[in-house]
Amino acid sequence: MRSPGTPRERLARFVASFTHLMANDPDFRTLRQRELPDGDETRLRLLAERAFVEPFGAMIERARGLAPDCDPHLLAISMAGLVLFHFETAPVRRFRPGGAQRHDDPQVVADHVVRLLGRAVGDG
């Protein structure tokens, strides 16, 4: 997380790491997806404080460096959503127009997310 480079380079490394985690750790994705609809506040708080606090803190750090004029919490949520939705929709995504097998490659997703975020904040 404290690696050298520009904010965009650090963002790219973080998004690639997060994307690969989501692609390669189905238990992590399942845990997250299972707990959200249940809505049990105690379990959600525990999940947020124990499992997600470090990755989300890192996302906020990346958001501050990438777009200091944006709310870092909202930008971090948007960053996570851009990555997570690709994996949550994977079973049906390939049947949608334009779907391709390469879209399942975590590095393809990571590159897309970083390019999109860079353009959104005027960095690319």
Nearest alpha-carbon partner for 13 in 71, 69, 65, 88:
65
Q: Which DSSP category does 102 fall into?
A: G
The yes-or-no verdict on residue 3 having pLDDT over 60 is: yes
> Quick check: pTM over 0.85?
no
The yes-or-no verdict on residue 78 having pLDDT over 70 is: yes
Biggest CA-to-CA distance, the chain: 41
Q: Which DSSP category does 99 fall into?
A: -
Give domain status of residue 72, yes or no.
yes
8 A C-beta contact, residue 29 and residue 9: no
Alpha helices in 25-105 (DSSP H): 26-38, 41-47, 53-66, 72-88, 90-93
pLDDT at residue number 51: 72
Give domain status of residue 1, yes or no.
no
Both structure tokens of 59: 């996302």
The boundaries of the domain holding residue 115 are 7-120
The yes-or-no verdict on residue 105 having pLDDT over 90 is: yes
Give domain status of residue 2, yes or no.
no
Q: Which of 9-13, 50-54, 81-85, 114-118 has the lowest mean pLDDT?
A: 50-54
Instruction: Measure Cα distances from 1 to 38, 77, 101 in Å.
Output: 32, 18, 31
Q: How many domains does the chain have?
A: 1
Query: What's the whole-number mean pLDDT along residues 85-94?
Result: 86
Give domain status of residue 11, yes or no.
yes
pLDDT tens-digit profile of 45-65?
887 787 778 878 888 988 888
For residue 123, name the pLDDT band (cuts at 50, 70, 90): low
pLDDT at residue number 10: 84
Between 30 and 60, name the one with better pLDDT. Answer: 60
pLDDT at residue number 26: 79
pLDDT at residue number 97: 92
8 A C-beta contact, residue 7 and residue 62: yes
C-alpha count within 13 angstroms, C-beta hemisphere, residue 69: 3
CA separation for the pair 6, 18 (Å, rounded): 18
